[in-house]
Amino acid sequence: MELLVLGGTEFVGRAVVEDAVERGWGVTVFNRGNREVPRGARGLRGDRAKGELGELAAGEWDAVVDTWSGDPAAVRDAVRVLGGRVGRYGYVSSRSVYAYPAGAGLDEHGALVDGKGDDYADVKRAGEIAAQEAYGDAALLVRAGLILGPYENIGRLPWWLRRIARGGEVLAPGPRDLALQYIDVRDLAGWTLDALAAGLGGPYNLVSPSGHTTMGELLETCARVTGSDAALRWVAPEVVEAAGIEPWTDLPVWLPPGELHDTLHRGDVRKALGAGLRCRPVGETVADTWRWLEGIGGVAPQRPDREPVGLDPEVERRVLDGLGELAG
């Protein structure tokens, strides 16, 4: 297989490149040149945001993987320039393309946003539409959920690892048995390449089954792999929210039981499982992310278009102190 990756040096794109190289595929990476192309791949240069696609004007590939999440014009430009020189177009989209609230158990037939706005859900949907209009059934729409693992540049799992490694009392948002649904970036990459090689097309919800892990197992695993003596203080959702703490951003990954949790952590993934999706244990994801984080000095890269996540230590301390007062 000859594979073109648009991006290919950060998080999802990097995992895709490394997996494809390991398979012995020929891999071409198209990016701005701000970061080194992963070993084993060939580099082409250009800035999609500026419409600089000249180096894509020649060459043929069996498949492309595109992770773009900005202005959908960049996807439209890419499919126009590539034309019939690419066999299949894999677009890494998001389950956010479903009209909110998605509801528990939603599969690939759920109602979609129209792709006409400028928020994350709409630009991802517009990217899907561009890929499908150009490639039809040869467009694979990878609707990922929460993505974790090495190279993460959002900071969700890295924040929890650093916080728990620091030790002391840690505000742990409950309930402890709250079901989580996520995908390890390497499982996403592997499934996507398998699907392209097999000629699959159309939309797939690509995330683990709901309850693949729980909030309790995730945080306890963070404590174990970091060797921390942190004491997890489980706090009821209503106490967390009454303190003005924002789910998902102040406390990454976590959403209280209810509508938003159903949308993001209770999706139907039977189609992807039937097409070969296999999800590694949470312990492997957490341990490998910690190993990678330590290897780069403990500071994860941060996407410039995303705000850093994590809870202010003073807010955490105030809430935990308040719990002690109530107990007294």
pLDDT in tens, 259-303: 999 999 999 999 999 999 999 999 999 999 999 999 999 999 999
Residue 77 near residue 85 (C-beta atoms within 8 A): no
Helix, strand, or coil (residue 316): helix
pLDDT above 90 as % of the chain: 94
pLDDT in tens, 140-165: 999 999 999 999 999 999 999 999 99
Residue 182 near residue 146 (C-beta atoms within 8 A): yes
How confident is the model at residue 325, as a pLDDT? 54
Task: Tell me: pLDDT of 132 over 80.
Answer: yes
Task: Tell me: pLDDT of 328 over 50.
Answer: no
Residues 6+ apart with CB under 8 A from 74: 48, 49, 68
Six-digit token pair at 82? 């590539």
Residue 24 near residue 197 (C-beta atoms within 8 A): no
How confident is the model at residue 191, as a pLDDT? 98
pLDDT in tens, 45-75: 999 999 999 999 999 999 999 999 999 999 9
Confidence of residue 305 (pLDDT cuts 50, 70, 90): confident
Task: Tell me: pLDDT of 327 over 90.
Answer: no
The torsion angle over the Cα atoms of residues 29, 83, 141 and 38, rounded to 10 degrees, is: 0
* Average of per-residue pLDDT values in the chain: 96
3-state SS, the chain, equals CEEEEECCCCHHHHHHHHHHHHCCCEEEEEECCCCCCCCCCEEEECCHHHCCCHHHCCCCEEEEEECCCCCCHHHHHHHHHHHHHEEEEEEEEEHHHECCCCCCCCCCCCCECCCCCCCHHHHHHHHHHHHHHHHHHHEEEEEECEEECCCCCCCHHHHHHHHHHHCCEEEEECCCCCEECEEEHHHHHHHHHHHHHHCCCEEEEECCCCCCEEHHHHHHHHHHHHCCCCEEEEECHHHHHHCCCCECCCECCCCCCCHHHHHHHCCCCHHHHHCCCCCCCHHHHHHHHHHHHHHCCCCCCCCCCCCCCCCCHHHHHHHHHHHHHHHC
Which position has the token pair 């994590």? 310
Task: Tell me: pLDDT of 220 over 80.
Answer: yes
Measured in residues, the chain has a length of 328
pLDDT above 70 as % of the chain: 98
Over residues 185-205, the mean pLDDT reads: 98
